[in-house]
Amino acid sequence: MQYFDTGKYQVLFVLVMVAFILINIFRAQNKDIFIRRIAGLNAIEDAVGRATEMGKPVLMVPGLGALNAISVQALNIFAHITRTAARFASPIRLCCGEAAVFAVAQEVIRDVYQSEGVPERMDGDSVRFVSDRQFAFAAGVSGIMLREQTAATFFMGEFFAESLIFAETANSIGAIQVASSTENTQTPFFIAACDYVLIGEEFYAASAYLTRKPVLVGSLVGQDWGKMLIASLILFGIGLESSQRKGWVEQMESDPAAKTSMMRLFSPEPPDPATKPVRQKHPEEGEAQ
Amino acid sequence: MATPQKVPGSLNIPREALFAALFVVCSVLVFVSIELPNRVSNNSADLYKVLKGIDKTKPVILQSDWTKSTRGESGAQFDALVRILIRERVKIALMSGADPQAPEVAREAIRRIAVETEKVTGQPYKQWEDWVFIGFFPGIEASLQSFSSNLRNALSANKDSDTAGVKRSVMESPVFNGINRIEDISAYIIVTASKTSRIAIERLSGKVTMLGLVTGVMGPETYNYYQSGQLSGLAIGLKGAYDMESMMAYGLNTPDGEGVIKVSNAKVTDPIEGYTGEQYVNLANGQKYIVPLHGAIILLITAIVLGNIETIRQRRRRNG
Amino acid sequence: MIPWSFESGSTPLKIAIFVTLALGFGLFFALMKTPPRLRPKIAATFTFLAGLLYVGIWLWPTAHGREAGDIPANFTEGVAFWLEDTQSQFQNLSNILTSFLLLMGVFSLVRLHATRVSKQQRDWPFSLVLLICVALMTFIGYWDWLTVMNMKPEELEAMRDVTNQPFAVWMKDLLFDGLLQTMEAAMFSIIAFYILSAAYRAFRVRSVEATILLASAIIVMLGLLGMAENYWSIMIDNMGGLEDPNALVNNLRLEAITQFIRDNLQTPGLRAIDFGVGVGALAMALRLWLSLERGGSTS
């Protein structure tokens, strides 16, 4: 019997996470919250500096994903890189594989040059739409890398099979590669072939570290609270699971994958008709039916 | 934060030599036709079990998101899957969400396998009556969300040609007889080379039995969802395709004429029949491509071992 | 009837298109006249409203067992029905928007390469090839589409025989299936070569961690080889694994080791990263939806 619709946990869980993030954004407005710096982010400055010394362009690729939170985050980081490049007067190349991302990227990069007071340094062709076909995009970007001999390359966003093509091509021309993908499947390829890799959520944390804006720092701390909540839920689940195993080993063995407590907590099963208790019908109502 | 350092001068075997070796190994082995021994993975065995026990009175929705670029893995998996579905006379609602080229590739495969199966069973498997193409959905996330809310509403505007060549709403097709909601179908199967399987799981999990057939690269990530029970069965990469083909050819845990069990699995222990009729095509591209895969992996391991011997030697030289 | 939709070719549809077009232009000019100070607020309001729809879909109770032609029984159901129906219209809207943005992308691409050809800048012949390909693919694509659209069912049936294909269809097959797809497959297969060289470079016994990584990688790779798994298993069988299914030696089967690595090391690791990514995406989405990063990424 289910006394409480466990499906509601899902909603409650997300609302708690949202509350954590909002509370911390509010806290950060009034208070300086400390966050540790990720060493790899220093590499961004170094890489742009190196490109300036060599007089070669900086290449940025926001991945193949559609215009979503991931590509917007990639553009946030690229805005910071472009700002550094604009100060050093280094040329940039930003290659897009998705038209919507391209449209936003153009605006973002133009804004950066304007806010730095050097709109004349912006090259109209620095933000390019290459192709929305995965491997045509891979071939196009590799071609740009080889022809223009880019000195620093940044691959951040949603990458798929093309990640290794980019990373190895950049490696072959001796460019510094800083990469980050939220796709777990591509992170190993980046780690094998790139100089610096931001793993998983470090990608989302990057702009908070780089800009130190209270909204971003606060939301980062809120995320950490959320992760602590998840970790404690996992511990709670381990407890439940252990007690359940002790109690109903036989029942568990019948279908262990689908019946763990955690699984039930987050995806409640419809009640099993077989478990319905046999009820006596009220004589009058029984007749009416 | 991972910062692998480049060892100066570490690439002692020139890159070109490695490339040439791989090219030679793969091109030669693709022409070698031998049946390699195989041990079926638990996830493939579960997939086969669910497919063989599927409710034949209800259709499956088959989301096909692969194109010619991953035909080695996804193509072999798709062929094996469609062979099982057509032989079991399960109705298919085909759709795509990742690539505009994907529907054509999948339709072509279904038509080809329908003809191939008809030659053996004598029963045709016709478009509109037995299978229907329900559309290409570029915004797959929003589309699956609307499938989840109300399948009939989400699909009623989509059209396919009926047997007379007239374009009609796909919901009028015999495939969708008595189907209104996503919960009414027997399974949601996704063959993909990208992360669309994750999107489908996010939107539909818990409402319908879900099965996945993914490429080797997507394997580790998708395996998460198999382990959590959100996917009831999963085929990963070429090994998954070869597993399916082996189970189709010899059955799972079923003894052959001489009483020998050729394909067994530790997790799925009940005997499940294969398609042992001689005219059936069971071993196909999975078997053909697993040989070059073996060659490529052995080459990869050899290269890694050689590289490490070189590293150890360099270290000794430095120290001594 | 589904809200926001009209019968194809009907007068109400034409009126709706006209009114929407007029409204669109009106909005466009109104926005141009708005003081720049107000513009971010308007954008924020639109973003919030658009996001609100999906939040509503997620939080509002779903109508149970709805069938075609049902009339909502009460207010809650009414809202649920409206949300369900509006969703598919929203999806169409985003598809249409994406198509227009694609035009922008193509325009930028063509402008860049046309300039390069006209000024005969470095590598201009490549740009010329690109322009010719874009034009040819577009032309053949549309020609094929029009040809097939105007065909009768029996002609379509006859086309299954390749020799009966009209020129446009044949040409499209040649360009798309014969060239484009094959070239894409070739690009994809390049990855195999890069995996080899990257693995050769990266998997070295440099430290304890790297050695553990190397060992587990080799075990997992061997696990992909059915042949290796099989012979390894025969070895374990001979060591007494076959007689006693509970023998300790059975844990040393290749598939048992790979399964252990997969279930207990790889998957939990990936899952932990996924949790972090998920929470990060939630925070990012929240900041975007509520327009919390005033001035966007460039301020």
What strands, in cross-sheet order, belong to the sheet with B92-96?
B131-136, B92-96, B60-65, B187-192, B210-214, B233-236
Tens-place pLDDT, residues C137-160: 999 999 999 998 888 777 777 776
Q: Are B199 and B217 in contact (CB under 8 A)?
A: no
**pLDDT attached to residue A5:** 61
**pLDDT attached to residue C128:** 95
B37: Cβ contacts below 8 Å, ≥ 6 apart: C226, C227, C230, C231
Beta bridge mates, A156: A180
Residue contact A267–B205, C-beta within 8 A: yes
A67 within some domain: yes
C61 within some domain: no
Mutate to test the interface with B, among A5, A36, A181, A185 (most CBs of B within 10 A): A185
A46 touches chain B (CB under 8 A): no
A217 touches chain C (CB under 8 A): no
**pLDDT attached to residue C165:** 83
The pLDDT confidence band at residue A288, using thresholds 50, 70 and 90, is very low
Structure tokens at C204: 């070295």
Tens-place pLDDT, residues C172-231: 889 988 898 888 888 888 999 999 988 888 888 888 988 998 999 899 889 888 888 888
A219 touches chain C (CB under 8 A): yes
A160 touches chain B (CB under 8 A): yes
Structure tokens at A149: 């001999």
- Which is it for the CA torsion B204, B206, B208, B214, positive or negative? positive
Tens-place pLDDT, residues B306-317: 989 988 888 888
C15 within some domain: no
pLDDT at A208 over 60: yes
Mean predicted confidence (pLDDT) in A23-36: 87
Is the model more confident about C5 or about C119?
C119
Is the model more confident about B46 or about A45?
B46
Q: How far apart are the first and last CA of chain C?
A: 46
Mutate to test the interface with B, among C6, C79, C88 (most CBs of B within 10 A): C88
A151: Cβ contacts below 8 Å, ≥ 6 apart: A47, A50, A51, A54, A56, A57, A58, A175, A176
The pLDDT confidence band at residue A249, using thresholds 50, 70 and 90, is very low
A91 within some domain: yes
C127 within some domain: no
Cβ neighbours of C56 (radius 10 Å) = 15
CA gyration radius, chain C: 30
Chain B positions in Cβ-Cβ contact with residue C231 (cut-off 8 Å) = 37
**pLDDT attached to residue C49:** 92
Question: Residue C249 has what DSSP assignment?
Answer: G
Structure tokens at B213: 């057939």
The pLDDT confidence band at residue A278, using thresholds 50, 70 and 90, is low
- C104, C184, C287: residue with CB nearest A133: C184
B107 touches chain C (CB under 8 A): no
Distance (Å) from the alpha carbon of A215 to chain C's nearest alpha carbon: 7
Residue contact B195–A183, C-beta within 8 A: yes
pLDDT at B12 over 80: no
C207 within some domain: yes
Question: Residue B257 has what DSSP assignment?
Answer: T
pLDDT at C130 over 70: yes
Enumerate the domain spans of chain B: 36-319
**pLDDT attached to residue B252:** 92
Between residues 144 and 173 of chain A, which touch chain C (CB distance below 8 Å)? 147, 161, 164-165, 167-168
Question: Residue A277 has what DSSP assignment?
Answer: P
Q: Are B153 and C89 in contact (CB under 8 A)?
A: no
Distance (Å) from the alpha carbon of A47 to chain B's nearest alpha carbon: 14
The pLDDT confidence band at residue B21, using thresholds 50, 70 and 90, is very high
A1 within some domain: no
- Which is it for the CA torsion A111, A113, A114, A120, positive or negative? negative
Structure tokens at B185: 């179908």
Q: Are B79 and B301 in contact (CB under 8 A)?
A: no
H or E stretch covering C81:
helix C75-118
Q: Are C48 and C291 in contact (CB under 8 A)?
A: yes
Amino acid residing at C285: A
pLDDT at C17 over 70: yes
Burial A43-77 (b: 16+ CB within 10 A, else e): bbeebbbbbbeeebbbbbbbbbbbbbbbbbbbbbb
**pLDDT attached to residue A270:** 53
Do A12 and A143 share a structural domain? no
pLDDT at A284 over 90: no
Tens-place pLDDT, residues A132-175: 888 899 999 999 999 999 999 999 998 988 899 999 999 889 99
Mean predicted confidence (pLDDT) in C253-260: 88
* CA A143 – CA A137 distance, rounded (Å): 10
Chain C positions in Cβ-Cβ contact with residue A112 (cut-off 8 Å) = 298
Q: In angstroms, how far is CA C24 from the centroid of its own chain?
A: 29
Of B135, B130, B134, the C-alpha closest to B174 is: B130
pLDDT at A37 over 80: no
* CA C244 – CA A254 distance, rounded (Å): 24
Chain C positions in Cβ-Cβ contact with residue A161 (cut-off 8 Å) = 188, 191
**pLDDT attached to residue A261:** 53
pLDDT at A267 over 70: no
pLDDT at A103 over 50: yes
Cβ neighbours of C168 (radius 10 Å) = 18
Of C146, C7, B5, the C-alpha closest to A192 is: B5
Residue contact B161–C262, C-beta within 8 A: no
C108 within some domain: no
Do A193 and A99 share a structural domain? yes
pLDDT at A280 over 80: no
Q: In angstroms, how far is CA A24 from the centroid of its own chain?
A: 20
Residue contact B3–A196, C-beta within 8 A: yes
Pairing of strands B210-214, B233-236: parallel
pLDDT at A3 over 60: no
Chain A positions in Cβ-Cβ contact with residue B6 (cut-off 8 Å) = 195
Q: Are A92 and A60 in contact (CB under 8 A)?
A: yes
pLDDT at B9 over 50: no
pLDDT at A231 over 70: yes
C226 touches chain B (CB under 8 A): yes
Mutate to test the interface with B, among C156, C227, C257, C266 (most CBs of B within 10 A): C227
pLDDT at A81 over 80: yes
| Tally of domains in chain A | 2
**pLDDT attached to residue B3:** 43
Amino acid residing at C45: T
**Could you write out the DSSP letters of every residue in C165-205?**
--HHHHHHIIIIIIIIHHHHHHHHHHHHHHHHHHHHHH---
Distance (Å) from the alpha carbon of B4 to chain A's nearest alpha carbon: 6
Of chain B, the percentage scoring pLDDT greater than 90 comes to 51
Q: Kindly identify which residue of chain A lies nearest to residue B3, measuring between CA atoms.
A: A196
**pLDDT attached to residue A58:** 94
pTM over 0.90: no
Mean predicted confidence (pLDDT) in B153-168: 82
Chain B positions in Cβ-Cβ contact with residue A198 (cut-off 8 Å) = 1
A42 touches chain B (CB under 8 A): no
pLDDT at A285 over 80: no
Domain boundary at A177, A212, A247, which?
A212
A26: Cβ contacts below 8 Å, ≥ 6 apart: A218
Tens-place pLDDT, residues A105-137: 999 999 999 999 988 888 878 999 999 888 899
Of B39, B86, B74, B27, the C-alpha closest to B247 is: B39
Cβ neighbours of C228 (radius 10 Å) = 19
pLDDT at B77 over 90: yes
**pLDDT attached to residue A120:** 87
Mean predicted confidence (pLDDT) in A70-88: 91
The pLDDT confidence band at residue B2, using thresholds 50, 70 and 90, is very low
Mean predicted confidence (pLDDT) in C43-61: 88
Residue contact C282–A17, C-beta within 8 A: yes
Mean predicted confidence (pLDDT) in A245-273: 52
Q: Are B224 and B212 in contact (CB under 8 A)?
A: no
Of C261, A158, A193, C212, the C-alpha closest to B220 is: C261
A256: Cβ contacts below 8 Å, ≥ 6 apart: none
Q: Return the residue matching tokens 């491509």.
A: B289
Which of A2-6, A17-21, C240-244, C284-288 is predicted most confidently? A17-21
Interface A:B, Cβ pairs < 8 A: 47
Distance (Å) from the alpha carbon of C175 to chain A's nearest alpha carbon: 14
Structural domain for C230, as ranges: 203-293
Q: Return the residue matching tokens 């029009």.
A: C146
Q: What ipTM describes this predicted complex?
A: 0.82
Mutate to test the interface with B, among C77, C90, C196 (most CBs of B within 10 A): C196
Residue contact A39–B228, C-beta within 8 A: no
Distances (CA, A) of A85 to A47, A91, A157: 10, 7, 20
Do A127 and A58 share a structural domain? yes
Distance (Å) from the alpha carbon of A77 to chain C's nearest alpha carbon: 8
Is the model more confident about B22 or about B69?
B22
Do A258 and A227 share a structural domain? yes
Of B295, B286, B224, B309, the C-alpha closest to B72 is: B286
Chain B positions in Cβ-Cβ contact with residue A196 (cut-off 8 Å) = 1-3
Distance (Å) from the alpha carbon of A155 to chain C's nearest alpha carbon: 17
Q: Kindly identify which residue of chain B lies nearest to residue C278, measuring between CA atoms.
A: B202
Q: What is the mean pLDDT of chain B?
A: 88
A2 within some domain: no
| Tally of domains in chain C | 1
Of chain B, the percentage scoring pLDDT greater than 70 comes to 97
C119 within some domain: no
Burial C72-104 (b: 16+ CB within 10 A, else e): eeeeebeebbebbbbbbebbeebeeebeebbee
The pLDDT confidence band at residue A282, using thresholds 50, 70 and 90, is low
C14 touches chain B (CB under 8 A): no
Interface A:C, Cβ pairs < 8 A: 158
Structural domain for A148, as ranges: 39-212
Residues of B at the A interface, defined by Cβ within 8 angstroms: 1-4, 6, 69, 193-195, 205-206, 217-218, 220-221, 227-230
A274: Cβ contacts below 8 Å, ≥ 6 apart: none
The pLDDT confidence band at residue C8, using thresholds 50, 70 and 90, is confident
Chain C positions in Cβ-Cβ contact with residue A76 (cut-off 8 Å) = 297
- C200, C227, C233: residue with CB nearest B294: C227
**pLDDT attached to residue A268:** 52
Mean predicted confidence (pLDDT) in B235-250: 94
C224 within some domain: yes
Question: Residue A126 has what DSSP assignment?
Answer: S
Mean predicted confidence (pLDDT) in C247-263: 86
Interface B:C, Cβ pairs < 8 A: 161
* CA A124 – CA A126 distance, rounded (Å): 6
Residue contact B229–A185, C-beta within 8 A: no
